[in-house]
Structure 1
Amino acid sequence: MSEHDPQPPTFRRPAHQRLLPAAVAIVLGVGLFLAGGLGLAPWPASSTGHNASSSADAGRTAADPLTAQITGLQAHLRHKPDDATALATLGLDYVQQAKTTADPTYYPKAEAAFQRSLTLEKTDNFTAMGGMAALEAGRHHFNQALDWARRAIAVNPYNSSLYGTLADAYTQLGRYTEAADAVQRMVDLRPGAPSLSRASYVAELRGDTATARTDMQRALNDAAGPADQEFAHYYLSELAFNNGDPTTGLREAEAGLRAAPASTSLLQAKARAEAALGRGTAAIADLTRAVQRVPQPEHVLQLGELYQSLGRTREADQQYEVFRAEQRLFANNGVTLDSDAALFEADHGNRARAVTIARQGLNSRPFIDSHDALAWALHANGQDSEALTESDQALAQGTRSALFHYHRAMIQRSLGNPAAARTDLTAALAINPHFSPLQAPLAHKALSKLTKSSA
């Protein structure tokens, strides 16, 4: 890994792609993936719309630099199977391909490549160590990710991307002060889009959205190309939407799509803003395009809930079945399910299973999302006293989350605390009155009813 790695690549844990000889590819391969931010949430690449493990047509590699690099590395390793650097680079590309295509079957391939690389070079192989950290983070094994990141930094303490990986692990483990320190070290080593975007997330977690926007705007200003612009516009759109400004959210998403027209994540952001602005047909069209290109589970679930909010239950159920199948595929390939799966089961599936998933998720990822998911799963099962404790943990950092406040409001209402419920419902709708196509209308109705009953 080099300090000249690319800025936060193409998307969701930005998808970064390049094609170079193995010796040089390591610079990009590691930077590519490790430049992304787990805390910021991974995202699909904009350049491909097909599952890489399917029978892709032969011409795809020419249009998809990541696939082309994988093919080139595989050919190189057939002639030089003991090239530890090439093996580590291949492993990183497999991890990125898993994120790019929503195909977790790449994770076992990545692990095999890293382990072979580490067998060949045990001592100074910070590339494979950093790659293992990225892999374990992708599988939601954050304690292991932290261990590998520390090992890599012990070998190369001046590589900014490794501190990004360290920060990501600390963040997901709920060790927010240590995460902020790692991000500061990353910024000190190399101020730029990858480090500034993480600094933005640190600020967002503590509820400082003004600083979060400023840092992300700086990341946009430092963008080295369309991939960086895509990344920054996506998160600027998310920041705007999550704070009740879908108009700005739509504008940022559209600006990003001008730089990266095939971006699935920007289509998803655009659809969220459109739905909030009452443009349901356009939202369905954009989100469908995103899911058809790369069926990221969170996008599939979002499409299902959008269909359900519009009364199109058959289409909603189809998307929910796809989501269930994807969760099984991820679990079968070593990924620990957590908040998304738990919330899905609480809202649309098996409520008892929701608690099981949420508890397991919290054990491996004691992040604020995991506390909220367990709170909601417990509430769905009538365990509201414990649910309130978890909900308080979700909001303990001061994060501005309409969903978290809505969940706590419903828990407070079930506990017979109408005044507290009104407070949280008011906070939720003040933060973002359109936070969910299904639950925001319920929040409005609940607040109206509580207000009338208290009059």
Structure 2
Amino acid sequence: MFCPIVRIAGTGLFLWVGVGFAQEGTPEAPAPAANPAVTAPASPVSADAWVRLGDLQMQRARNTVQHDFTAASNAYTKALALDPNDGRARLGMAWVKNSEHDFAAGKEWAEKALEIDPKLQDAYSLMGDGAMELGDYEGALKYFQKALDLSADLASYSRAAHLMWLTGQSGRARLMMQRAIDAGGPFPENTAWCRAELATMHLQDGATLAAEKQIEIALKEAPRNPRVLAAQGRILAAKSDWSGAIAAYRQSVEVTPTHDALAALADLYFVTGDIEAAKSAVDRVIAFHADHAHMHDGTAHVHGPGNAQLALFLADHDRAIDLALVEGEAACKAFPNIGSFDALAWCQFKKGNHEAAREAMRKAMAWHTPDPLLYFHMGMIEAALGDTRGARSDLSRALQLNPRFHPRHAPEAVEKLASLVTVPEPVAQLPAAAAAESP
């Protein structure tokens, strides 16, 4: 087993990061990538001014979870036209490319930025983000360690925290995320994002009160941030406050529709028995991804590298399983990480390919990520394969982590676990003659 060490720069503190034996993934967007200037000039006339405008455009995109980075890209391009050797402009392009999930291009731009300034911390952070999405944990560790060595701040701490959580180091992950919050950032969204992440970590461990505390503060810092509102919805759902959770998710969607909030609304409508609203919500999630993949005459057409979110959602709601499987396979090929393998496993399970599902799920769980949903998926797959012992173990683990980890799946886990009654082994009987000879 590979067990690297993360050293927190300037503190003398070393943290072990236990790593398993297969792949990695990032269920959430990467942590904040840079510290853009607070203001930008009205009429940029220099490379530096264009860079500051690009940074501001990227921060605006983060504030509302928008996925259009054209304005920022144009600003960085104009900066490079004025000064091709501007390291911060090259870094900005790396930020844009990573945000567009073009991690190869992002790494290339980050390396170009380092050619100008080898001490650009954010260049290493961005390369680490790409490595994590591509399932290269060892590479990510090296990049994040370099970033921490150069400057231990909100960006580097939060990335280290996410890395630790994915590799099963939940306690240390929370410590590092708190360090990120304490370090602070130039925008309220920066620390609010970290608080939402820390709240999610607490919730995964079943610590609902601790999660609530973080979200209360995050809402004061960024009351209209869709990611914070979605985290609030998740916490309220864990408390079975269905109306409150629906309201929070609706507010999140009103600011900016995201997959997580839209998918959560579909689940909550099913739980509350509003079937028509649930069906409409399912259709809205599919429409949200309409630019990526389509079904025409029963044939799956995938545009791009595959969409693990769409694949998992379709499988979860028994919609277009063939398309879901195509999406899941394409996502694993492009981004071989935890989220992709989990999605593929669930698609294979719903397709009835249980052995293939278990194989993919083993890759998803290899890093021991403390996510109850992963254990639920594996437990259901094992139950379908007749592996009662494995199913009981993994379903129990899911419920131990958080007995209310999902509004639909937590009750399913309880029901399935109750049905997996272990039949006791028959007591061995001695032959009659041998029994007679016994004292």
TM-score, structure 1 as length reference = 0.77
**In the alignment, structure 1 residue 347 sits paired with structure 2 residue 316:** yes
Deviations 1:53-95 (A, max 9, x none): xxxxxxxxxxxxx9x96xx66x625xx5xx5444455445555
- From 215, 218, 224, give the equivalent of 2:176: 215
The alignment status of 1:392 with 2:362, answered yes or no, reads yes
The corresponding residue for 1:291 is: 253
**Aligned 8 A contact 1:39 1:168 in 2:** no
8 Å CA contact retained: 1:43, 1:100: no
**Distance (whole Å) between structure 1 residues aligned to residue 293 and residue 75 of structure 2:** 21
* d(CA) in 2 for partners of 1:161, 1:258: 28
Which of the residues 405, 419, 428 maps onto 2:389?
A: 419
The answer as to whether partners of 2:165 and 2:369 remain within 8 angstroms in 1 is: yes
Are positions 1:192 and 2:153 aligned together?
Answer: yes
Amino acid at match of 2:256: V
For 2:15, the equivalent position in structure 1 comes to none
**Identity percentage of aligned residues:** 29
> Structure 1 residues 184, 304: CA separation in 2 closer, same or farther (over 3 Å shift)?
same
Q: Does 2:117 correspond to 1:147? A: no
* SS of corresponding position for 2:362: helix
Answer yes or no: is the 8 Å Cα contact 1:140–1:365 preserved in 2: no
Counterpart of 2:345 in structure 1 is 375
- TM-score with structure 2 setting the length: 0.80
The equivalences for 1:5-44 within 5 A come to 41=29
- 1:428-439 map, 5 Å: 428-439=398-409
Q: CA deviation at 1:193?
A: 1.4
Mapped to 1, the partners of 2:305 and 2:49 lie a distance apart of 28
Alpha carbons of 1:314 and 1:355: their partners in 2 closer, same or farther (altered >3 Å)? Answer: same
One-letter code aligned to 1:258: K
Q: Residues 234 and 256 of structure 1 are in contact (CA less than 8 Å); yes or no, is this contact kept in structure 2?
A: yes
Aligned to 2:434: none
**What secondary structure, in the 3-state scheme, does the structure 2 residue paired with 1:399 have?**
coil
Match of 1:338 in 2: 307
Determine the structure 1 residue equivalent to 2:219. Answer: 257
Contact map agreement 1:139 1:335 (CA 8 A) in 2: no
Over alpha carbons, which structure has the higher Rg?
Answer: 2
Q: Distance in 1 between matches of 2:58 and 2:189?
A: 18
Task: Name the residue aligned to 1:328.
Answer: 290
Q: In the alignment, which residue of structure 1 is the partner of 2:237?
A: 275
Q: Which amino acid aligns with 2:278?
A: A
Deviates more, 1:339-348 or 1:95-104: 95-104
1:238-285 CA distances to partner (integer Å, 9 max, x unpaired)? 111111122221222112223333333222212211111121111112
1:43-62 correspondence to structure 2 within 5 Å: none
| Cα root mean square deviation, aligned | 2.8
Cα gap change, 1:229 to 1:117, in 2 (>3 Å): closer
Aligned-partner Cα distance in 2 for 1:190–1:239 = 24
CA distance in 2, matches of 1:350, 1:331: 11
| 1-structure distance, mates of 2:97, 2:386 | 42
The one of 141, 144, 156 equivalent to 2:117 is 156
Preserved CA contact (<8 Å) 2:64 2:226: no
> Deviations 1:310-339 (Å, cap 9, x if unpaired)?
11122222222222222124679x875522
Say whether the 8 Å CA contact 1:43–1:265 is kept in structure 2. Answer: no
* Offset at residue 453 of structure 1 (A): 5.9
1:28-52 superposed Cα distances (whole Å, 9 cap, x missing partner): xxxxxxxxxx8852599xxxxxxxx
Query: Is the alpha carbon distance of 1:276 and 1:422 closer, same or farther for their aligned partners in structure 2, counting shifts above 3 Å?
Result: same
Matched, 1:137 2:98: yes
CA separation of 1:39 and 1:433: change in aligned 2, threshold 3 A: closer
Please name the residue that 2:375 is paired with.
405
SS of alignment partner, residue 328 of structure 1: coil
Match of 1:364 in 2: 334
- Assess, with a 3 A threshold, how the Cα gap between structure 1 residues 227 and 93 changes in structure 2: closer, same or farther: closer
Structure 2 residues not aligned, in runs of 5+: 1-25, 295-302, 426-439
Instruction: Letter of the 1:237 partner, please give it.
Output: A
Structure 1 segment 110-121 matched on structure 2, within 5 A: 110-115=72-77, 117-121=79-83
Distance 1:223 1:451, change over 3 A: farther
d(CA) in 1 for partners of 2:58 and 2:83? 20
Change (3 A) 1:202 1:259: same
Which letter does structure 2 place at the counterpart of 1:286?
A
Q: How far is the alpha carbon of 1:147 from its aligned partner? A: 2.6
Find the residue that maps to 1:157 and give its secondary structure: coil
**Amino acid in structure 2 at the alignment position of 1:356:** V
User: Number of residue pairs matched?
Assistant: 386
Extract unaligned runs of 5+ from structure 1.
Answer: 1-37, 45-65
- Counterparts of 2:29 and 2:419 in 1: how far apart (Å)? 36
C-alpha separation between the residues in 1 aligned to 2:342 and 2:314?
A: 14
**C-alpha distance 407-115 of structure 1, shift in aligned 2 (>3 A):** same
Q: Partners of 1:339 and 1:167 in 2: how far apart?
A: 20
8 Å CA contact retained: 1:145, 1:169: yes
Once residues 100 and 399 of structure 1 are traced to their aligned partners in structure 2, the CA distance between those partners, rounded to angstroms, is: 28
What amino acid is the match of 2:414? H
Structure 1 position 132, deviation (Å):
2.7
Alpha carbons of 1:203 and 1:241: their partners in 2 closer, same or farther (altered >3 Å)?
same
